[in-house]
Structure 1
Amino acid sequence: MPKFRCIPSPYSLNSLLALLCRNQRGLELLPQVLLNSLNMNIRPEESTFHLLVCALCRMNKVAYAIEILQRMIDDGLSVNDKVFSVVLSSICAQGDLDGEDVKGFWRESRKLGLSPDTGDYNSVISFFVKKGRGSDACNFLNQMKSDGIKPGIVSYTMVLSGVVAEGDYMLADELFDELLVLGLVPNVYTYNAYIAALCKQKRVEEGIKMLARMEELGCKPNVITYNTLLGTICKVGDISRARELVREMKYKGIEMNLVSYMVIIDGMVSKGEILEACALVEEVLHKSLPHENLTFDEVIWGLCQRGLVGKALEFLGKMVGNNISPGSRAWEALLLSLNLHTKFPLPL
């Protein structure tokens, strides 16, 4: 540019940096470019540093971004809310950080007078939920309300999921009631989280009523909704009720997935309904769904226990035909049923 009698400006520098920050090779050239810009009396502006911080975050170089951010603060340069949001979301996306790192950055940012928005709060809430710290997520939800920001259904749903996973069911009830009072409309994820809380407390009837309620309000349940209810119903041994739910799923066009099959098959095996379980396993094989050997082994064991060795061998053939390797429990059941007492190692 000087050769063509054109004076470079910070705007020119920013344009070049924006191009270089797109890939690793360009980033390697940044130090030399910045040094050259100083030799040409081009002083980087705050916008220049903002650009570098955001670019580094996009490339997951968060540590370098934070270092530049700290230098800006030390030199008295201002940091706007947008840069804060980008760095915060990048920090929260780091799976190897603990909660204190996030809290520390949050506190320092607030001291600088930065104002977080809904997206910033959601980033932190999501981080703590993924870390299994639902109570911390709830604290940030409360702080969000204290700052005059009305949480949306996404915020409440994330916190609800977090406290349910943590086992604080009383708080889950309070949160669900609160979001309804605020006029928020629960979505399928909200209902799924709350139904999971009810089921974990074995409040199955309330869970089924909640299923009906969500449909009345125009929220269509999905396979996760039904799997949650099926799991609890099968654990208490009410297989007939589980069958009703399965029929309801099919009527509503909700396709059963592997979890659905495994839950009800395990329930049937535990209740001794081996032939029905066997039919469902064959349905899984017919649909070419992923499979788990444990359930198949239990079916073979149950068939052998009832003297249905021929059926067990037939079922074993279908397993092998679908490239499923029987486990040791299946082989043990077959050998015992065939009265083969020879001692030899069973295949794993």
Structure 2
Amino acid sequence: MNKYFNLRILEEGSGYKERTVGFKVAKGSGVQFQFQFQLQMTIQNFLKTLKTAKRTSASTLSPDPYQRLPDLISQFLTASKPLDASTLQDLNSTDFHDILTNPHLKASKCYRFFNFVVKNQSMLSFKPHLQDHLTLISRLLKARLFADAESMLKTLSIDENLSEAIEVFDFMKNNGIEIDERTCTVHLNALKRADELGLALDFFNQMVQTGLEISVYSLTSVVDGLCRNGDIKEGREIVEEMSGRGVKANVITYNTLIDSCAKRWDFEELDLVLGLMNKAGVGFNVETYKFLINGYTSYGKIEAAERLVMEMHGKGLRVDAYLYNLMLNGYCKLGSIENVLLLLGRMCDRGVKPNADTYWPVINWYSKGGVMEMAMKYVREMQKMGFELDKVMYDTLIDRFCRNGMADEAFEMQIEMERKGIHADMSLCNQIGELLCETYQTEKAKMLMNIMIKRGKSPKTVTFTSAIS
């Protein structure tokens, strides 16, 4: 199947004039180029460039525009010989434009020279203008070098002219220039990065009103921008509106809304999004469940989160320790240790392997309440599973042993730390030492002091020194 294109270009010859040419590209030929003029220039500059280009006549050009340049540049253009970048110091903007418009030079050689100039921008006293880009793009199109023309279009900065993009869009629409939805999406993302959400919405509306076939990717891009800005309701309403126009949101679009609702604990809006998702027949994926479970557990709705986890198991979806850990933490914060222990049992029954983060909430809860025996029971179980305590865990347990007057246990845990190359905080060492002295365990206190000195601590910093001297 052939695809036909119409392009407005500048024709070279006895002079320059504007004409419309048509060409066709056979499917599978590999020559596929969509004229992506679109978003990278202001409408004012574009019109100015066309007028200037049409007025340009061969009679106004030098007989040999590049003859004033060093010989090496001439050789580069005519014989493809290597060019020393230092010779570009003599190049000015007028000569550069003359080279690009010279009809005696092939468009491919001009393109090669253009790229060389851009790569050596630091050697120049000027920067290629928008008109230079347009001139060469027109020549490349006429020479059917579509890939090179597209590459040049992509080099034009869209960030400098964000606010004029809609004017350019109108110009393209009114002049029959094909508008590429994929490129429009690129511009939408650029507007988001520039924090120009208002312009992004205006541009999206223009895309819709023009009758351009909107992709779910463009829709998701706009919804994501709104959600990041906290406008979740407006994002949901756009999804509803576009659904009526035949653009169906996918699970990624809905996940964007769900994640924003869950993080903000906006459960009223979340229910509306879930209802819309259900009506559209879009099912949950693993990410959907994670966003919901995270939101529910952080708010304290642990039972709702647990129902979702069981639902995941029922659907055969992969449930990892992370989701169980969220619920275990939630139950611990609520002080519901019974539910914690029940959940640990369900976790094991379902074949979900725990990790260090699974055990620590339980250990922390018991030790905080002074139930050190139960805390150490889960420490041993954790270590049996191959998970070790880190420095924060050790320091926390030592502090709680000391608070409960358990000097021996605190000392043994500190020695265990040293064997593993982990050093307890100085304040904790002093705390242990003072407790040992209070319980008349001076030998252990001396051992602890020696350990501290070997670590480079001054005896003056050891607060229990006088008690053992």
Regarding TM over 0.5, the answer is yes
Counterpart among 273, 279, 285 of residue 175 in structure 1: 273
Q: TM-score, normalised by structure 2?
A: 0.56
Does residue 31 of structure 1 match 2:106?
no
Instruction: Go from structure 1 to structure 2 and tell me whether the alpha carbon gap of 1:297 and 1:82 turns closer, same or farther (over 3 Å shift).
Output: same
Structure 2 partner of 1:148: 246
Give yes or no for contact 2:162–2:191 (8 Å, CA) kept in 1.
no
- In the alignment, does 2:396 pair up with 1:301? no
Q: Counterpart in 1 of 2:198?
A: 103
Q: Does the 8 A contact of 1:129 with 1:158 survive in 2?
A: yes
Q: 1:213 to 1:345 in 2, by over 3 A?
A: same
Alignment check: 8 A CA contact 1:237 1:271 kept: no
How far did 1:140 drift?
A: 4.2
1:190 corresponds to: 288
Q: Is 2:443 the counterpart of 1:312?
A: no
Q: CA deviation at 1:181?
A: 3.6
Residues 75/202 of structure 1: CA separation in 2 closer, same or farther (3 Å cut): closer
Evaluate the alpha carbon distance shift between residue 264 and residue 134 of structure 1 in structure 2; reply closer, same or farther with a 3 A threshold.
farther
Distance 2:186 2:241 in 1: 20
Query: Are 1:246 and 2:339 an aligned pair?
Result: no
State, as a whole percentage, how many aligned pairs show the same letter.
Answer: 16
Structure 1 gaps of 5+ residues are none
CA distance in 2, matches of 1:130, 1:40: 37
Is the 1:163–1:172 Cα contact (8 Å) retained in structure 2? yes
Q: CA deviation at 1:163?
A: 0.7
* Separation (CA, whole Å) in 1 of partners of 2:383 and 2:131: 62
CA drift at 1:326: 2.8
Aligned: 1:263 with 2:361 = yes
State how 1:78-227 maps to structure 2 within 5 Å.
78=177, 79-92=179-192, 94=193, 97-98=194-195, 101-111=196-206, 113=210, 114-129=212-227, 134-135=232-233, 137-227=235-325
Q: What's the offset of the Cα at 1:107?
A: 0.9
Which residue does the alignment assign to 2:371?
273
TM-superposition CA deviations, 1:72-129 (whole Å, max 9, x none): 558757442121112323444x4xx43xx13313313433635532112222333454
Contact map agreement 2:188 2:204 (CA 8 A) in 1: no
Cα deviation 1:45-87 (Å, max 9, x = unaligned): 898775445456xxxx652585996795587574421211123
Asked whether the 8 Å contact 1:261–1:284 carries over to 2, the reply is: no
TM-score (normalised: structure 1): 0.72
> Which structure has more strand as a fraction of its residues?
2
Select 2:159's aligned residue among 34, 47, 63: 63
- Structure with more relative contact order (C-alpha pairs < 8 Å, separation 6 or more): 2
With over 3 angstroms needed to count, the CA separation of the structure-2 counterparts of 1:158 and 1:48, relative to structure 1, is same
Q: Alignment partner for residue 231 of structure 1, among 315, 322, 329?
A: 329
Change (3 A) 1:35 1:209: closer
* Distance 1:236-1:109 versus aligned 2 partners, 3 A rule: closer
Coordinate RMSD, CA, aligned: 4.6
Q: Would the aligned equivalents of 1:172 and 1:197 in 2 still touch at CA under 8 Å?
A: no
- TM-superposition CA deviations, 1:178-204 (whole Å, max 9, x none): 323432221122122223343344333
Based on CA coordinates, which of the two structures has the bigger radius of gyration? 2
CA deviation map 1:271-321 (0-9, x unaligned)? 43334434555646985679462x432211222233322221221223334
CA contact (8 A) 1:117 1:149 kept: yes
Runs of 5+ unmatched residues, structure 2 = 1-75, 80-102, 439-458, 464-469
Shift in Å, 1:160: 0.7
- Structure 2: distance between partners of 1:91 and 1:209: 40
- Give the residue type in structure 1 aligned to 2:128: P
Is the contact made by 1:53 and 1:66 (CA closer than 8 Å) also made in structure 2?
Answer: no
Give the aligned residue type for 1:25: K
Count, aligned residues: 330
Is residue 195–residue 207 contact of structure 1 (8 Å, CA) maintained in 2?
yes
Structure 1 292/69 Cα, relative in aligned 2: closer, same or farther at 3 Å?
Answer: farther
Counterpart of 2:284 in 1: which secondary structure?
coil
Which whole-Å CA distance do the structure 2 matches of 1:258 and 1:26 have between them? Answer: 55
* 8 Å CA contact 2:296, 2:305 repeated in 1: yes
Work out whether residues 207 and 229 of structure 1, in 8 Å CA contact, stay in contact via their aligned partners in 2.
yes
Matched-pair contact (CA < 8 Å) for 1:20–1:27: no
